[in-house]
Structure 1
């Protein structure tokens, strides 16, 4: 949980600094882009969970 809080705080600071210096945001500017990144993460985790089962079958 500590890593999640540190990542959130770091993201907030970086986002604030990017806005302050009027730089483009270093992440997808829309919620759909953020959800896509979350989907990629969960797809990767799903593969890690399913792959051992597939190895036993094939």
Structure 2
């Protein structure tokens, strides 16, 4: 028997919020990690451009 309305999702709201927060945390930490990586890369590249003759020790 299919119901047109009153269709309840499989996840309760609490489950959804928990899952969403966990995913948001994973995404946020991934973004932060990527930002750090990009920031380091940009800084190294800029240093290479500004100081081509005296390389910074890595």
Q: Shorter-normalised TM-score: what interval?
A: 0.3 to 0.5
TM-score by length of 1: 0.40
TM-score by length of 2: 0.40
Name whichever structure is richer in helix by fraction: 1
Structure of larger gyration radius: 2
